[in-house]
A and B are shown apart, each in its own frame.
Chain A
Amino acid sequence: MTNEDKLKELLKSRGIDASGMTDEAATPKQAEGCGKLIDIYYTLKNTVDMEFPYWYNRVWQENGSDVIIVRRAKALAAAFAHLTPTIQPYERLVMNKTRHVRGAFPFPWVTASFFNAQAEALMKEASAPSESEADSVSIIGAGGGNVTKSYGNIISIAKKFGMRKEEIPVLVKTCSYWDGNSVEEMSNHYAKYTPQFDIEQAIMDSVLCMFDSYCIPQGREVINYYLPLQYGWDGIIELCDRRIAETMGESDGDGLMGMERGYYYVAMKHLAQGLSRWCQNYADRAYYLASVETDAALKKNYEEIGGVMAHIAHKAPSTFRQALQLTLACHYAEVNEDPQSGQSIGRLGQVLQPFYEKDIDDGVTTEEEVIELLEFYRIKITCIECFASAGVTGGVLSGNTFNNLSLGGLNRDGLSAVTPLEYHIIEAGMRCRTTQPTLSVLYDEKLPESFLLKAAACTKQGTGYPAWMNNQDGMNFMLMNYGPEGMNIEDARAWCLGGCLESSPGCFLPLRYNGKVTWIPGGAGPTAGSGVHFVGLPKMLELVMTNGYDRRINKQVLPAHNRKLDSMEAIQEEWVRYMNLTIDVLNKVNNLQMDIWRKYCPPVVSSLLKADCFAKGRGLGMMGGRYNATINFESCGTVTFVNSMASLYRNVFKDKKYTLEEMLDAMMHNFGFKTSYETGVFSPDFREATDEAPKYAQIFADCVNAPKFGNADWEADQFLKWYEDVMFGLTRQYKSYYGKPLYMCQISVSTHGPQGFITLADPAGRLAGTTYSDGSVSAAAGTDKNGIYAIFESATIYDHSTQQNAQMNLKLHPSAVKGPQGTRKLLDLVRAYMRKGGFHVQFNIVDSKTLKKAQAKPENYRDLMVRVAGFTQYWCEIGKPIQDEVIYRTEYDD
């Protein structure tokens, strides 16, 4: 008997099902149809077209006499109802954002200034003759679906999307209507009234803060599927009629929001009608395709699709497949409302369990068929694209849209919430390896071992999912943050991830189906983001050292402090002072942006799909959701900052080897090396010396050798503790547009690339322009010398449940977790971190040599995926700075 067999026997004797610990090779291949769709997917370009914005714009324009929420609902409903339905052969689940598979579109009602400023240039480009025929039909190169340059009849938009030339005049004409009226421009108008607006502008110019709130006003939140699953679109329309009759003209004793209810229900009725028509259009298209199809199997498939779509166009679902398709329709509806990332699916395996259970019991479907549908679901979610600026789409999101599906956690009664369907969701993720939805396990000691082993087996396949989140930390954060709004322990149990790592509030609602009531979890609050978007902590330290002057752009960004920085305390005080000022000015402007958004571009779809809005008759933007203290402050480069502080402490103040001026001089001269701007390499391990290198050799060595976070060394770790304690109180002094305190969101997403790019060399020896450390508690690459458990020790030096999240990335060599014993080892590793109170850990289980080969020849690695910081993305679709950073992360092989 092998060791692996012995282990399985041992687990079995303890009542643990070890089937999840399958060998890597034992996972079945993806369903045949999925394989065909993925093969097509790999050839597709991200495409922007104008159908949706055209219809939105037209109907918005034509309904100026409506109150705004109704006007917007009509515009959205028309846009959904007029979208051209696209169904590919072999698809079993259907619908898209647009008529293109990886489609997207601009949202000029949110931001139009770029297109209006570029209108003439765009029209000129559209009118220019195409290149040669050969050129016009071929473009070859790295980047997967990204259209980074214009070619032939395709215009590159935001360095990611292709738009056909004939659509450019439509883009220009549509956007011109919004000139001066978009959320961006209206909020800019009022932002100028905020005190110290000039400082806010300088901060944005320096990229000390990454982007404005209006860029992606929604997302980082969790959908609530309860209403459509319970009532269907026709049922919702009937409910609206009833509520309109009850509330229209009635203030209900409330002089403001009471009267709003009637308008809200009128808006919801229009929206439900539009969504119903959208589903029906897919049914009609499916029936047409069936009518011309000669292959019997494909014909049957189209007919089934037609049946599903025709049913959910009106009625509540009565099968698992219908329910899954309806949730997908809701998801696409959400992501078409505004530019957004991180519209999360929530705990889908718990929401749909009643439908799955009934179909299995009735023999309507089989477990294999369910897994297959869930594979198709993965492909549909992977196809979701977000159209935003190049900086947001590429620099922040790396092209991903963070549609997170959470698993596990606890149910309303405080017991394990794991369902049989959730095993299948993981299995589908193992068979059909796509970037989305990413999976997140809400780890709790109460979860079944077999489920955790299954999840670990999936993680170790190298897909980057599931990531692991600490359920108790999450619940504690919920109670602390939403307790003042009345959250109790039951609702706290309904939390999950919105976006990659944005812990979001939820609640349980009673789904009546199959003769019983099941309390299903779902989202209960607006975006758990959209506050201050990514402040570069190391850049802030740089500004402290340069008296507020940004030497990269030669501009005074923050007011000169003119203080002699003669102690660590002085540096800390000035850093806090600068941070206070930065949050103050940014928060005011972002509050204005989001206030204009909720008033003039109110959320409608998400006001239907969020707990309590419908019951109250109040939109999500007007605090119709159950919990509203959701707005955050996002940081970037935590450990780069901590290491810099540790080096200053050691080299300048403790050992007194250098003066602060000498340190600054070395930083300004990049320690005698070429900058990454000059070399084009963003990896911390690449250095090309200049003639000045010998002059700075000793100080560089001392900086590199100073204590570093991640080695269980208090001298470095103390600065993380100090930072977290300070920021806990500091962020809570500022109020969001909902009048609730901010809190910290500590995910880097991809901002550690661009924000590293704008930051000069730092006191820890990181060179100018190179990428920051990722996450918030990942060790800076190559600096963790004492093993993984030392990183855990350093990371948990503060209470993770005090903030929305903390992010830890680890890279393991596949050999470290090989075989069934490796699965157990991986789970033990996760468990050890969770037991110490760590909030989150995610893994890249990949050989660095493979990544280097893939960087050299991306065309040979189209399907290679990596975990960045909270999401999984195709290697060939992420920018080089992040690629360099992932390659350089410390790789553990034992």
Chain B
Amino acid sequence: MKHIDCKNYIYLDCEKGMCALSKMMLPIDGKGSEACPRFVMAEKCGCCANFDGCDEHGIGTCAGFEKKNWTYASCGAAGCEHFKMR
């Protein structure tokens, strides 16, 4: 897993974020982007039990709402009323 998938990751920009625990800058890509042992999975569509059928672009189906619809794995779900960690 990568830092960007961690609940303690604070989004900054398209290149990097910050660790809420260490306050260190964390790259999204390349060296230093791998998660640390304190990793906690963040709520995202990709790790939701209602997410299925993910294609090569990370796009799958959300079945969490009354109407099924497409969604994408990296979409944040911290505010989603139907999120269920897989």
A-side residues, CB < 8 A to B, are: 40, 43-51, 54, 58, 61-62, 81-89, 99-103, 126, 130, 133-134, 136-137, 145, 147, 152-154, 162-164, 166-167, 169-170, 173, 277-278, 281, 284-285, 288-289, 292-294
B30 within 8 A of A: yes
Asked if B14 and A147 make an inter-chain contact with CB atoms under 8 angstroms apart, the answer reads: yes
User: Chain B residue with minimal CB distance to A278?
Assistant: B79
Distance in angstroms between the alpha carbons of A102 and B69 in the assembled complex: 29
Asked if A89 and B75 make an inter-chain contact with CB atoms under 8 angstroms apart, the answer reads: no
7 intermolecular pairs with C-beta atoms under 8 Å apart = A45-B15, A51-B75, A54-B75, A58-B69, A85-B78, A133-B29, A281-B78
Distance in angstroms between the alpha carbons of A451 and B41 in the assembled complex: 52
**B25: chain A residues within 8 A (beta carbon):** 43
**B47: chain A residues within 8 A (beta carbon):** none
Asked if B79 and A45 make an inter-chain contact with CB atoms under 8 angstroms apart, the answer reads: no
B13, B16, B31, B77 interface centre (most CB from chain A within 10 Å): B13
Asked if A136 and B10 make an inter-chain contact with CB atoms under 8 angstroms apart, the answer reads: no
**A50: chain B residues within 8 A (beta carbon):** 72, 75
User: Chain B residue with minimal CB distance to A167?
Assistant: B74
B48 within 8 A of A: no
Distance in angstroms between the alpha carbons of A163 and B29 in the assembled complex: 13
Distance in angstroms between the alpha carbons of A277 and B59 in the assembled complex: 26
**B29: chain A residues within 8 A (beta carbon):** 130, 133, 136-137, 152-153
B48 to chain A, nearest CB (A): 12
**B7: chain A residues within 8 A (beta carbon):** 288
- In the A-B complex, the 8 residue pairs with the smallest Cβ-Cβ separation, listed nearest first, are A84-B76, A169-B57, A162-B14, A47-B14, A137-B30, A281-B79, A99-B11, A45-B13
User: Chain B residue with minimal CB distance to A170?
Assistant: B72
Which listed residue (B31, B57, B58, B80) contacts A82, Cβ 8 A?
B80
A43 to chain B, nearest CB (A): 8
User: Chain B residue with minimal CB distance to A90?
Assistant: B23
Asked if A293 and B72 make an inter-chain contact with CB atoms under 8 angstroms apart, the answer reads: no
Asked if B28 and A40 make an inter-chain contact with CB atoms under 8 angstroms apart, the answer reads: no
Given contacts A137-B15, A281-B78, 13 further A-B contacts (CB under 8 A): A46-B13, A47-B14, A54-B72, A84-B79, A101-B11, A137-B31, A152-B29, A162-B13, A166-B58, A278-B79, A285-B78, A292-B20, A294-B21
- In the complex, chain B residues 32-77 whose Cβ is within 8 Å of any chain A Cβ: 57-59, 67, 69-72, 74-77
Distance in angstroms between the alpha carbons of A85 and B75 in the assembled complex: 12
Asked if B69 and A84 make an inter-chain contact with CB atoms under 8 angstroms apart, the answer reads: no
Asked if A133 and B30 make an inter-chain contact with CB atoms under 8 angstroms apart, the answer reads: yes
**B71: chain A residues within 8 A (beta carbon):** 54, 58
A42 to chain B, nearest CB (A): 12
B contact face: mostly helix, strand, loop, or mixed: loop
A43, A44, A84 interface centre (most CB from chain B within 10 Å): A84
Asked if A101 and B78 make an inter-chain contact with CB atoms under 8 angstroms apart, the answer reads: no
B30, B67, B74, B77 interface centre (most CB from chain A within 10 Å): B30
User: Chain B residue with minimal CB distance to A280?
Assistant: B79
A289 to chain B, nearest CB (A): 6
User: Chain A residue with minimal CB distance to B33?
Assistant: A137
Asked if B11 and A84 make an inter-chain contact with CB atoms under 8 angstroms apart, the answer reads: yes
Distance in angstroms between the alpha carbons of A88 and B20 in the assembled complex: 8
Asked if A162 and B15 make an inter-chain contact with CB atoms under 8 angstroms apart, the answer reads: yes
Distance in angstroms between the alpha carbons of A100 and B11 in the assembled complex: 5
**A285: chain B residues within 8 A (beta carbon):** 78
Distance in angstroms between the alpha carbons of A749 and B23 in the assembled complex: 39
**A99: chain B residues within 8 A (beta carbon):** 11, 76
A295 to chain B, nearest CB (A): 9
**B11: chain A residues within 8 A (beta carbon):** 84, 86, 99-101
User: Chain A residue with minimal CB distance to B16?
Assistant: A43
Asked if B10 and A87 make an inter-chain contact with CB atoms under 8 angstroms apart, the answer reads: yes
Asked if B79 and A44 make an inter-chain contact with CB atoms under 8 angstroms apart, the answer reads: no
A205 to chain B, nearest CB (A): 34
Asked if B13 and A101 make an inter-chain contact with CB atoms under 8 angstroms apart, the answer reads: yes
Which listed residue (B16, B30, B57, B74) contacts A136, Cβ 8 A?
B30
B62 to chain A, nearest CB (A): 8
Asked if B69 and A61 make an inter-chain contact with CB atoms under 8 angstroms apart, the answer reads: yes
Which listed residue (B14, B16, B75) contacts A163, Cβ 8 A?
B14
A171 to chain B, nearest CB (A): 10
**B76: chain A residues within 8 A (beta carbon):** 51, 82-84, 99
Which listed residue (B18, B21, B23, B77) contacts A292, Cβ 8 A?
B21
Distance in angstroms between the alpha carbons of A170 and B76 in the assembled complex: 13
A123 to chain B, nearest CB (A): 8
Asked if B12 and A44 make an inter-chain contact with CB atoms under 8 angstroms apart, the answer reads: yes
Which listed residue (B28, B59, B70, B79) contacts A153, Cβ 8 A?
B28
**B12: chain A residues within 8 A (beta carbon):** 40, 44, 88, 100-101
**A130: chain B residues within 8 A (beta carbon):** 29
Asked if B79 and A89 make an inter-chain contact with CB atoms under 8 angstroms apart, the answer reads: no
Distance in angstroms between the alpha carbons of A112 and B84 in the assembled complex: 33
User: Chain B residue with minimal CB distance to A58?
Assistant: B69
User: Chain A residue with minimal CB distance to B57?
Assistant: A169
Distance in angstroms between the alpha carbons of A283 and B11 in the assembled complex: 17
Distance in angstroms between the alpha carbons of A169 and B8 in the assembled complex: 26
Distance in angstroms between the alpha carbons of A43 and B15 in the assembled complex: 10
**B18: chain A residues within 8 A (beta carbon):** 40, 88-89
Asked if B69 and A85 make an inter-chain contact with CB atoms under 8 angstroms apart, the answer reads: no
Asked if B14 and A100 make an inter-chain contact with CB atoms under 8 angstroms apart, the answer reads: yes
User: Chain A residue with minimal CB distance to B78?
Assistant: A84
Distance in angstroms between the alpha carbons of A281 and B74 in the assembled complex: 18
**A288: chain B residues within 8 A (beta carbon):** 7
Distance in angstroms between the alpha carbons of A43 and B13 in the assembled complex: 9
**A54: chain B residues within 8 A (beta carbon):** 71-72, 75
